[in-house]
Amino acid sequence: MSDDVVMRNRALQTEWYGEPLGDRFRRLLDRLTLSQAQLADVLGLSAPMISQLMSGVRAKISNPAVLARLAVVEQMAADPAFVVMPPAARADELARLVHETPTGSSSTVAITAHAGSGSTPAGGEGAGGDPVAAVQGVLRAVASAAELDGAAKALDADYPALAEVLRVYGTLKTADARAHYERTVR
């Protein structure tokens, strides 16, 4: 693989995902003390695929469910309470994520449809029964924080409530999104 192709792929990753996937994956590997193979299992990728994405040999994650799961795992890794859990408890939570969000595209479609329609899947409110995580997962899977903020700015004048939703769920901390959800939905 030529250096030009790798540089191009990393530039495309930055455009599509906000930064090279290698940086995002390394943060997760370090923060969650996982191997590449373990992270691949959690995300629903093969170990060779995650290696190729990290190195820039491949540019794109083609399965939207994997992108949604990546956003959920990043959210988990950002939670200080999750990171200080005993390793076995963290492993259990990650295994639960694997079993609750299959990597087939139908799971992402279900999360998207329910988050957008106001209805909820039978037995829960989005991914794992958490509507905030479902909305954040969908938004963060389709756009970077900068893109969501740009969309919110474009909507500010005519649709301020929608702009606020994009900002709160797409760019702010989960605690802020939960507070917004409690104020507006419950």
Q: What is the pLDDT of residues 161-175, one digit of tens each?
A: 899 999 988 888 888
Where are the domains positioned within the chain?
1-62, 101-186
pLDDT tens for 128-161 read 467 887 788 778 777 777 888 899 999 999 999 8
pLDDT of residue 129: 60
- Structure-block tokens of residue 100: 């609750």
**pLDDT tier, 11 (very low <50, low <70, confident <90, very high otherwise):** very high
Task: Give the model's pLDDT for residue 105.
Answer: 36
Mention every residue, 6+ apart, whose C-beta is less than 8 A from residue 73: 28, 32, 39, 42, 43, 94, 97
Question: Cα separations (Å) of 174 from 2, 39, 79, 154?
Answer: 40, 22, 9, 23
pLDDT at 41 over 80: yes
* CATH topology for the 1-62 domain: 434 Repressor (Amino-terminal Domain) (1.10.260)
- CA separation for the pair 150, 163 (Å, rounded): 9
Round the average pLDDT of the chain to a whole number and report it.
80
Closest CA to 71 of 18, 33, 12: 18
- pLDDT by residue (tens digit) across 49-58? 999 999 999 9
Q: With 90 as the cut, is the pLDDT of residue 67 above it? A: no
Q: Residue 128: what pLDDT? A: 46
